[in-house]
Amino acid sequence: MINKKVSSVQEALQGIEDNMTLMLGGFGLCGIPENAIAELVQKQTKNLTCISNNAGVDDFGLGLLLQQKQIKKMISSYVGENAEFERQMLSGELEVELIPQGTLAERCRAAQTGIPAFFTPAGFGTEVAIGKETREFNGKMHVLEHAFQADFAIVKAWKGDTAGNLIFKGSARNFNPCMAGAAKITIAEVEELVEAGTLDPNQIHIPGIFVQRIFQGVKFEKRIEQRTTRKK
Amino acid sequence: MALDKNQIAKRIAQEVKDGYYVNLGIGIPTLVANYVRNDISVEFQSENGVLGMGPFPFEGEEDADLINAGKQTITTLPGASFFDSAMSFGMIRGQHVDLTILGAMEVAENGDIANWKIPGKMVKGMGGAMDLVASADNIIVAMMHVNKAGESKILKKCTLPLTGVGCVKKVVTELAVMEVTPKGFQLLERAPGVSVEHIIAATEATLIIDGDIPEMKID
């Protein structure tokens, strides 16, 4: 059996260098690869281009990399929760490409599945479409978007096995499945790593073929951004 | 009297039909879930990968792995499912969602909508809004008719960066229910106690008034 297991986050992130383009899973703080992000801060890798739906909060998630000025460019769909991000962006310190969330997901999936470009109706007639080819299909206008090209994809899953197979939990799934296999090398961070053969093949969400390295995270804070409750 | 946010949500909830899959944007739209009739079956889609979104959890039962598009903790209802973001937007783009309800800063009489950016001041990003407005056949906008300075947000032409073009069908504000037609906004209903004159004064866009305008029926 092919073994993708690496025993530490350090080993998992080998080869990530300055100036690289990274994909990072997560929606808000949900389903983010916390341990890998902490290690990127440790490594002080600089000038990164990060493809991730959000930028974390000021002191957690990708916000930690922003604090350390390790990110040159963010490609995201929404950055409202991070004041430092907004400040860096409005001041010009940080390059930002804001793209529709569905387009972000599909550009990852296209990279994963060998589709070099695709048409989507999202953004037609807005600043997102500037400079892009547009075409009419069935009486409706669409914008041509291209697959991403990234060096590393870092995804977070609930469970994984040594063959790289992944299972996700709840809304922590989000961008992680479409990012797995969408970059040159995919690193999977999991809460529970088991031996190949333990997981039921029927339960696998992402087959290990899309994953090159898998490691078990040591600590998961799983911070809640907006703890919202109702009265009994 | 102009409606408050909950009353706007209550009026919009009347548009939700039995068997609908519904996407609710952040802000006033999220309140719509509280007012949908309980004798019909509806499933709420959260663009971050949940169908069958339920109410907020009780205190102590929050799950960090279960949030909605506004990053709030939620629960799920029987029949719920989880899926990834590519599939979620596939659901949206593929017109599997029956009704999209979202907020706006401006709408124009040709159906253009602006709800994601105030240049130099608020540039948080469009999130899923552009996908939603470009894909949905059935869009209802929940918004304030006038801003805090009393300026109309129902315009001939949007001044803010657009989220989508020619996509809005129905708008519910604190003053009125309106429909976009080729000739302009058609006034369908007015808020209880609000006069047609008040609405005309608050609307910069072309407003078509045909006969007597009934009041909204909100319990």
pLDDT, tens digit (0-9, with 9 covering 90-100), for B171-185: 999 999 999 999 999
Of A109, A124, A227, the CB nearest to B86: A109
The answer to whether B54 contacts chain A (CB < 8 Å) is: no
Cβ contacts (< 8 Å) between A158 and chain B: which residues? 65
Nearest-Å Rg of the Cα atoms of chain A is 18
Q: How far apart, in whole angstroms, are the C-alpha atoms of residue A232 and residue B193? A: 35
- Please report the pLDDT score of residue B51 as a whole number: 97
Q: Give the tokens for residue B136.
A: 């949905």
Count how many Cα atoms sit within 13 Å of the Cα of residue A232 in the half-sphere of its side chain.
4
Measured in angstroms, the CA of B136 and the nearest CA of chain A are apart by 10
Catalytic residue among B43, B47, B106, B174: B47
A229/B85 CB distance under 8 A:
no
Q: Give the tokens for residue A78.
A: 């929404």
The answer to whether B103 contacts chain A (CB < 8 Å) is: no
CB of B178 within 8 A of CB of B187? yes
The answer to whether B63 contacts chain A (CB < 8 Å) is: yes
In chain B, which residue's Cα lies nearest the Cα of A84? B124
Q: How far apart, in whole angstroms, are the C-alpha atoms of residue A49 and residue B131? A: 24
The answer to whether B58 contacts chain A (CB < 8 Å) is: yes
Listed as ranges, residues in chain B with pLDDT below 70 are none
A78/B125 CB distance under 8 A:
yes
DSSP B118: B
Measured in angstroms, the CA of B65 and the nearest CA of chain A are apart by 5
Contacts of A44 (CB under 8 A, 6+ apart): A68, A70
- Please report the pLDDT score of residue B137 as a whole number: 87
Q: How far apart, in whole angstroms, are the C-alpha atoms of residue A45 and residue A24? A: 15
Q: Give the tokens for residue A121.
A: 């109706």
Digitized pLDDT (tens) for each residue of chain A, 232 residues in all:
799 999 999 999 999 999 999 999 999 999 999 999 999 999 999 999 999 999 999 999 999 999 999 999 999 999 877 888 888 888 899 999 999 999 999 999 999 999 999 999 999 999 999 999 999 999 999 999 999 999 999 999 999 999 999 999 999 999 999 999 999 999 999 999 999 999 999 999 999 999 999 999 999 999 999 999 998 8
B72/A226 CB distance under 8 A:
yes
CB of A166 within 8 A of CB of A160? yes
Of B50, B89, B127, the CB nearest to A171: B50
Q: How far apart, in whole angstroms, are the C-alpha atoms of residue B130 and residue A130? A: 14
Rounded to the nearest 5 degrees, what angle is found at the Cα of A68, between the Cα atoms of A65 and A74? Answer: 45
Count how many Cα atoms sit within 13 Å of the Cα of residue A64 in the half-sphere of its side chain.
17
A-contacting residues in B 117-136 (Cβ below 8 Å): 120, 123-131, 134-135
B47 flagged as catalytic: yes
Averaged pLDDT of chain B? 95
Beta strands B50-53 and B76-82, pairing class: antiparallel
Of A53, A104, A125, the CB nearest to B162: A125
Cβ contacts (< 8 Å) between A99 and chain B: which residues? 126
Q: How many CB atoms lie within 10 A of CB A33?
A: 27
Q: What is the dihedral of CA B89, B92, B97, B100, to 10 degrees?
A: 110
Model confidence, pTM: 0.96
Measured in angstroms, the CA of B109 and the nearest CA of chain A are apart by 16
Q: What is the dihedral of CA A149, A155, A161, A163, to 10 degrees?
A: 10
Q: State the best of A127, A171, A222 to mutate against chain B, taking most chain B CBs within 10 Å.
A: A171
What does the DSSP assignment read for chain A?
Answer: ----B-SSHHHHTTT--TT-EEEE--BTTBT--HHHHHHHHHHT--SEEEE-S---BTTBTTHHHHHTT-EEEEEES--TT-HHHHHHHHHTSSEEEE--HHHHHHHHHHHHHT--EEEESTTTTSGGGTTS-EEEETTEEEEEEE----SEEEEEEEEEETT--EE--GGG-TTHHHHTTSSSEEEEEEEEEE-TTSS-GGG-SB-GGG-SEEEE-S------SB---B--
- Please report the pLDDT score of residue B124 as a whole number: 87
Cβ contacts (< 8 Å) between B67 and chain A: which residues? 27-28, 30, 171, 224-226
CB of A161 within 8 A of CB of A208? yes
Cβ contacts (< 8 Å) between B62 and chain A: which residues? 224, 227-229
């994809």: which residue's tokens?
A153
CB of A156 within 8 A of CB of A34? yes
A171/B164 CB distance under 8 A:
no
Q: How far apart, in whole angstroms, are the C-alpha atoms of residue A22 and residue A131? A: 24
Measured in angstroms, the CA of B162 and the nearest CA of chain A are apart by 5
Q: How far apart, in whole angstroms, are the C-alpha atoms of residue B205 and residue B203? A: 6
Distance between start and end Cα atoms, chain A? 51
The answer to whether B46 contacts chain A (CB < 8 Å) is: yes
ipTM passes above 0.90 = yes
- Please report the pLDDT score of residue A103 as a whole number: 98
Q: Give the tokens for residue A58.
A: 């000021």
Query: Residue A146 to residues A143, A222, B158: CA-CA distances in angstroms?
Result: 10, 33, 29
Secondary structure of residue B130 in the 3-state scheme: helix
- Please report the pLDDT score of residue A154 as a whole number: 98
Beta strands A185-194 and A134-137, pairing class: unpaired
